Amino acid sequence: MTTAGRLIAVVLFDGVDLLDVTGPPEVFSLARRETDEAAGYEVVLAAETLDPVTTAAGVRVLPDTTFDALAARRPDTLVVPGAVAADGRGGVRPLTDPAVVTRVRQLAGLSRRVASVCVGAHILAAAGLLDGKRATTHWSTAQRLAADHPDVEVDPDPIFIRQGDVWTGAGISACLDLSLALIADDLGEAVALRVARQLVMYLKRPGGQSQFSVPLEQVATTRRVEDLRHHIMRRVAEPLTVADLAAHLHVSDRQLTRIFKTELGTTPHAYVESVRVEAARQALESTDDTLERVASACGFGSVDTLVRAFRRRLDTTPTEYRRRFRTRAGV
């Protein structure tokens, strides 16, 4: 199939999350520009009728085509965004309109592949498209997805998951990573990386990366813990033992462990390792440093320790990560 034949259809319905709808088209439009294709991807917004659709943000969106007309064209990729409503208990519940579910099931059967954005995974699950498959969704509704659909293996950690011709993405911003992965699958990693640079975003995060990377973790609840986090990042190459960190805060080792558990939800060792992995990723993306130098500069001590940490946290190796995601021009 040529790029001119890649019709990307985004499903529209009342109450849909606006960024779920607008994120993927922006990414695919940049791919067309980066490949200097006059045609390239064609993105359309499809709804039951051509009447304006009101999104959760209150912004009205005009569909390009109807579901019936789209079915006749047999889209290459069907993108299914999500929608939520307050559950009355301070949380949210995913919305799965039976009429939308029926349409998605019908259109999925006519498409080469299907991708859900954020809580759109609940619509795919309701349509039976995730049965027997591993899938992800936004962390806030993952437990609900698993409870409602026991035939689906729900993994709330990755930013996206591919299972054959079905892709599921996590939070709203992860729709960009998911779209980049779809482009890489079609046009290769080099094009996806060029698009990522245009988006000025983290360059094509691997699907196995956690929804909870170190820079995005919750803000510490006390100033002293925030200071400790910055202390760790500034001294990532140093030993950073529990005793060292406790001394920095002027507390006992046991009290330090309690502070990490209470305010950051993890242990000192796990947190320090996560910071080191983040630092190593940046080095692998942007430098020609050897693995030995990266391991030393990021506090791992040895390449073996670096490799084990990457396998544990990213489900890949430093070498494979660099091959796929390094950003230096000409590499």
Q: How far is CA 272 from CA 196, 285, 309, in A?
A: 28, 20, 11
- Per the residue annotation, which of 30, 115, 118, 294 is the catalytic one? 118
Residue 159 φ/ψ, nearest 5 degrees: -80, -25
Is residue 118 annotated as part of the catalytic site, yes or no? yes
Backbone region of residue 265 per phi and psi (left: phi > 0; alpha: psi in -120 to 50; beta: other values): left
**Parallel, antiparallel, or unpaired: how do β-strands 113-116 and 134-135 relate?**
unpaired
Q: Which residues pair with 153 in a beta bridge?
A: 134
For the beta sheet containing 166-169, the strands, ordered from the edge strand earlier in sequence to the opposite edge, are: 65-66, 42-47, 7-11, 77-80, 113-116, 166-169, 160-163
Unique residue bearing structure tokens 């806030």:
140
Q: Report whether 75 contacts 109 (CB < 8 A).
A: no
For 129-196, the three-class secondary structure string (H helix, E strand, C coil) is: CCCCCEECCCHHHHHHHHHHCCCCEECCCECEEEECCEEEECCCCHHHHHHHHHHHHHHCHHHHHHHH
Indicate which residues carry an active-site annotation.
Answer: 118
